[in-house]
Structure 1
Amino acid sequence: MDQIAHRFIPVNGLKLHIAEVGSESSPAVIFLHGFPETWYTWRHQMIAVANAGFRAIAPDFRGYGLSDSPTEPEKASFTDMINDTASILDSLAISKVFVIGKDFGAIVAYPFALQHPEKVAGIITLGLPFMPPGAFTNQFVLPEGFYPRRWQEPGRAEADFSRFDVKTVVRNIYILFSQSELQIADENQEIMDLVKPATPLPSWFTKEDIEIYAASYEKSGFRTALQVPYRTLNTVGSEVQDPKVEVPTTVIMGEEEYLLKIPGMGEYIRSGEVKKYVPKQETIYVPHGSHFLPEQFPNKVNQLILNFLNQNKHLALV
């Protein structure tokens, strides 16, 4: 961890935190986190790719971790995250990059590639594939009582989370999202009620990890994190008409990833329909893998990422 350097850079009126490791002259890889994560999600992958001769960069999105929050978090959007990613690369004088996104980081990665194709050498996403136009309004209908539906409602998650300290909120979310089934709350339940206090942490997640994530969210709060992604899901896939991602792409899914149980999601990936939008996509399934693959199976994920980067390294040369 002490190999990883940290700095703040001015981006679109905010100071955003980035973690980085590796030579500035090496091919660049930018890692985009999901929720409830920060740059720290990628700690194992950053070291591995740097040791393999790449430059690893992992920002905290605006309103997450150590990055500044926007002045009006309730107006934040995926477009902000896409524009911030472009601005980070411009600030670091990186003209070509491999983009790796987990969870909603994938929802930033693909539109970023569509809007800035000249900047992207290849894409890896974990947990989510390319999301088609109108994804969460037309194609994938989220069940009532499923956490994204609950958290779309302004104030509901805030009231739910406020009953607990930040460490407990992070702990509960990691336990919930590590399950292989969709966790559905009853009408008179809140999402935090789905975790019993005695439920153990996943074996690969430590109390120190909780402390680090909680310290970040004690700084940032959850206002922006609830806005993006949850309260902007209806905009997913709206960025580009007739989208087609032309660069090589790999999707890495845990076989026990609960998102595969969203109605229509597993079929969309397995049927090959996603290749209408991402024709050069390969999908790899990790046995026993959950939603948190980079932390659950870091060595396996590192191997898959390095295989992709080494196969496509020539595409990063400018």
Structure 2
Amino acid sequence: MDKIQHKFINVQGLNLHIADTGKGPNVVVFLHGFPEIWYTWRHQMVAAANAGFRAIAPDYRGYGLSDPPTQPEKATFKDIINDLLAILDHLGISKVFLVAKDFGARPAYQFALLHPERVRGVVTMGVPFMPPGPSRFRDTLPEGFYIARWQEPGRAEADFGRLDAKTVVRNIYILFSRSEIPIAAENQEIMDLVDASTPLPPWFTEEDLAEYGALYEKSGFQTALQVPYRSFQEDNGVAENIVKVPALLIMGDQDYVFKFPGMEDYIRSGKVKQFVPDLEIVHLPEGTHFVHEQLPEQVNQLILTFLNKYV
């Protein structure tokens, strides 16, 4: 971890934080999900650097050490894509591998669609490529479905606001490590789904939680609730949604995302390859939604094998 350097790049008037380690022309950019931050990639960044790659992990605007946008309620996925392009241009990097987790899969794939000449390949964990269009999940899951709750203006803010940032992150890590979709009862809030006595997952330490807590104490959750949860219907502005770069999807078989209506069939049947023809899918039987933190050695090996194949 002491090899990782931290710097700030000014993009559109905002100071965006990036973690950076390793050297050389072959660059991997890691895109986090929620409730994650650059730190979620600590194992993968060191492994990539030790294997001869340069590893970069930004905090999105409004996350962690990066400045928030002036109007967080208007933040979009396009901001992440534009910020990524600006970071690469600022650093003089022409082409990268993108490694993404959770909702980070969306900007990774959109960047590959919009700027294929800048992308060598895409690796995602927990979320496959999803074609644009209305989501089935809100219509087919109960009212207490966590995404539906977090899309409701003010509800998550009130729910999270009862707790400190560290406890919010703790609760979400516990919830998202389970194999069931977090769904609250009608008169229950999402944070109340986790009892205070519930232990952290064994692969996530109190020190890790303290790192996350400190970063979210700084940033809060306002931008994080807008992107991704309140921006899912955003038009990606791409006419043809066929990804033309090689890709790898790593799925933990205990990941609750598999329980989303139609998701398991979409992945296991290979329907996802209609949109990502050059896609390899790897299943890790014990893996949860945080497979890269839970099983870092296995995930690192899968990522490095992919990178070396297309470098």
TM-score bucket (shorter structure): over 0.9
Q: Is the CA contact 2:145–2:181 (under 8 Å) kept in the aligned structure 1?
A: yes
CA RMSD of aligned residues (A): 1.3
Contact 1:62–1:69 under 8 Å retained in 2: yes
Q: Which residue of 1 aligns with 2:270?
A: 272
Q: TM-score, normalised by structure 1?
A: 0.95
SS in 1 for 2:56: strand
Structure 1: stretches of 5+ with no match in the other structure = 314-318
After superposition, where does 1:1-318 map in structure 2 within 5 Å?
1-23=1-23, 25-134=24-133, 136=135, 141-235=140-234, 238-313=236-311
Superposition misfits of 4+ residues, deviation over 3 angstroms: 137-143
1:175/1:201 contact within 8 Å kept: yes
Q: How many residues align?
A: 311
Listed one character per residue, the Cα deviations across residues 84-139 of structure 1 (whole Å, up to 9, x for unaligned) are 11111111100000000100110110000000010000000000111112152589
Q: Do the aligned residues in 2 keep the contact of 1:139 with 1:264 (CA within 8 Å)?
A: no
Report the 3-state secondary structure (helix = DSSP H, G, I; strand = E; otherwise coil) of the residue aligned with 2:2.
coil
User: Structure 1: which amino acid aligns with 2:228?
Assistant: P
Between the aligned partners of 1:230 and 1:139, the Cα distance in structure 2 is 12
Report the TM-score, using the length of structure 2 for normalisation: 0.97
- Could you report, residue by residue, the CA deviation over 1:53-95 in whole angstroms, capped at 9, with x for unpaired residues? 1000000000000000000000000011111111111111000
C-alpha distance in 2, partners of 1:66/1:230?
Answer: 21
Report the alpha carbon displacement of residue 234 of structure 1 after superposing the two structures with TM: 1.8
For 1:141 and 1:81, how far apart are their aligned partners in 2?
A: 29
Q: Hey, what's the Cα distance between the residues in 2 that align with 1:181 and 1:122?
A: 31
Kept in 2: contact 1:140–1:262 (CA 8 A): no
CA distance in 2: counterparts of 1:276 and 1:21, whole angstroms: 35
Conserved in 1, the CA contact under 8 Å of 2:138 and 2:145? no
Distance in 2 between residues matched to 1:232 and 1:63, nearest whole Å: 14
Cα contact 2:113–2:243 (8 A) shared by 1? yes
CA 1:253 to 1:203, structure 2 compared with 1: closer, same or farther past 3 Å? same
Instruction: For residues 216-264 of structure 1, give each alpha carbon's deviation from its aligned partner in whole angstroms, at most 9, with x where no partner exists.
Output: 01100100000000011122x6431221111110000001000010001
| Cα distance between partner residues in 1 of 2:120 and 2:111 | 12
Query: Could you say if the C-alpha distance between residues 195 and 210 of structure 1 is closer, same or farther in structure 2, counting changes exceeding 3 Å?
Result: same
The alpha-carbon deviation at position 177 of structure 1 amounts to: 0.3
**Partner Cα distance (1:265, 1:144) in 2:** 19
